[in-house]
Amino acid sequence: MSGTLLSISRISKSTVFTRHAARSLATEAHPFSDSTSRNSSLRPKRNRLESQPNSIYVRAWDEIDSMPALFALVRGIEKRFGQVREFRVTRDYDISTSYAHFFIAEFKYPDAIERVPENGTHIKVEVPLVPRHRPGGVGLDELQGLLEADDWDPTLASGKQVIKALPSVEEERSMRTRVVELIVQRTKGYKADPREAQRSRHAVPFGLAFYQWGGFYRPSTADAPPVPEVMQQVLAKWQRKADRQSVADTRTPRRTGAPARKPDSQDSENVEDIDFMDCEAAQRAQEEQEANPVNTSAPSESTDSAPSVTSAASSEPVASSETVAQPAATEQPERPKRLSQREKILMLARMHAKTPLEEAKAEVEAEVEKQAEEEQAQEQAKAAEEEEKKATLGGLRNRLLRILGKLP
């Protein structure tokens, strides 16, 4: 019996050991490199932009002073080497109407870069002259014939003759030109994006700006040419979108600024008190003037002084209540009541409001002159202090030089 139990226990231990060994082998860790390679293969890779082999660096000896000159240079490059896919140029930092005298261009076809020597080359291009301060800026008459791409001209392979970018001889004669020399080299390490730009992202703001522009100028003469149908269609298209945009803007609530501060109860009471006191003072002065007429049977002194009293009471009640006094012999009219502090403030405010603007202007000018004099005096004091400092420093320097024996 004991032997049977011992054999059963051995069999159970062996099965447990085999299961544990199988589990350990099944859960064995894999190398780190395998997991990273597997994970990296699942990650999306970025498209690395390699340097474009068909891009060139162009540098002009003279400045590129206008847009027609820039387009003429590009057309000259196309006639010499091949069509240009796109070019990048920046404005001059000092002169906003001019461009930087260098730019980068990319050819449309790869065989065009083969016509550019590895060490670079020089070409001369004839460009038009446009006045800088022309009203309205550059127009289509200056850009006529320069907006369309040109093909490669094999007769210009030598590069010695001047390349004429203008399309016809008549335009060359009617427009002043000059010759610009260019240095053309292959780019080194320049990375460009070969993908086409998505114009749909910028279509809406461009279209709305185009609609607000409204098209070219139309003369008012009777024989003026009509607006082209294409222009009418484009303007009508963007007019509908502009109307929708305006309706959407009106429907959306605009964010207002900070909420207006509620008027304080004390402030409102002060305003009401001031208005009430103002009306009461005016009514009181009018009643006193009507109730106390001037006595004509009084002596000449009283008749001379009474009008002054009434006029003072009607115009300046403060002065009449404090300074003007009637003779004791005559019948004195009742003195008006003294004005409160608020009434006095209102009276002074009216007096200041009635002062002419010339006096206020003269006061402002006097204050400005006074400030200018004070500033000038301060500057003079500073200059005197600086001179004193220089004199003291010069004296110390001379003493040191004498001590060192460099001065006699």
pLDDT value of position 77: 92
Alpha helical stretches, state H, 163-256: 169-174, 203-213, 229-251
> Could you report how far apart the first and last alpha carbons of the chain are, in Å?
132
Reported confidence tier of residue 350, pLDDT bands at 50, 70, 90: confident
Least confident of 3-12, 108-117, 166-175, 262-271: 262-271
Average pLDDT, the chain: 70
Phi, psi of 225 (to 5 degrees): -70, 145
Reported confidence tier of residue 250, pLDDT bands at 50, 70, 90: confident
Contact 180, 61 (CB under 8 A): yes
Residue 182 pLDDT:
93
Pairing assessment for the beta strands 84-88 and 102-107 based on DSSP bridges: antiparallel
Six token digits for residue 389: 């400092």
Nearest to 131 by CA among 94, 172, 175: 175
pLDDT per residue as tens digits for the range 212-232: 877 765 656 665 566 777 778
CA distances from 68 to 41, 93, 326 (A): 51, 19, 92
Confidence of residue 161 (pLDDT cuts 50, 70, 90): confident
Measured in degrees and rounded to the nearest 5, phi and psi for residue 45 equal -90, 140
pLDDT of 344 strictly over 80: no
* pLDDT surpassing 70 at residue 291: no
Q: How many CB atoms lie under 10 A from the CB of residue 59?
A: 14
As a whole-number percent, the residues of the chain with pLDDT over 90 amount to: 10
Pairing between β-strand 163-164 and β-strand 177-186 as defined by DSSP bridges: unpaired
Could you tell me the pTM of the whole model? Answer: 0.42
Of the candidates 48, 75, 72, the one whose C-alpha atom is nearest the C-alpha of residue 62 is: 72
Confidence of residue 375 (pLDDT cuts 50, 70, 90): confident
**Beta-bridge mates of residue 180:** 125
Q: What is the per-residue pLDDT across 190-199, written as a single tens digit (0 to 9) for each?
A: 665 556 666 6
Range from 20-29, 133-142, 167-176, 228-237 carrying the lowest mean pLDDT: 20-29
Would the pLDDT of 85 be above 80? yes
Res 28 pLDDT > 70: no
Least trusted range by pLDDT, from 72-81, 91-100, 259-268, 399-408: 259-268
Instruction: Note the pLDDT of residue 7.
Output: 60
Angstrom distance (rounded) from CA 167 to CA 246: 44
Contacts from 293-299 at CB under 8 Å and sequence distance 24+? 295/330, 295/331, 298/330, 298/331, 299/330
More confident residue, 377 or 362: 377
Over residues 30-58, the mean pLDDT reads 57
pLDDT (0 to 100) of residue 216: 66
Q: Which residue has the higher pLDDT, 42 or 385?
A: 385
Pairwise CA distance, residues 314 & 285, whole Å: 6
Alpha-helical regions (H) of 144-228: 169-174, 203-213
Q: Where are the strands (E) in 176-311, listed by range?
A: 177-186
Q: CA 61, CA 76: separation in Å to the nearest integer?
A: 15
Q: Minimal CA–CA distance to 331: which of 353, 359, 290, 303?
A: 303
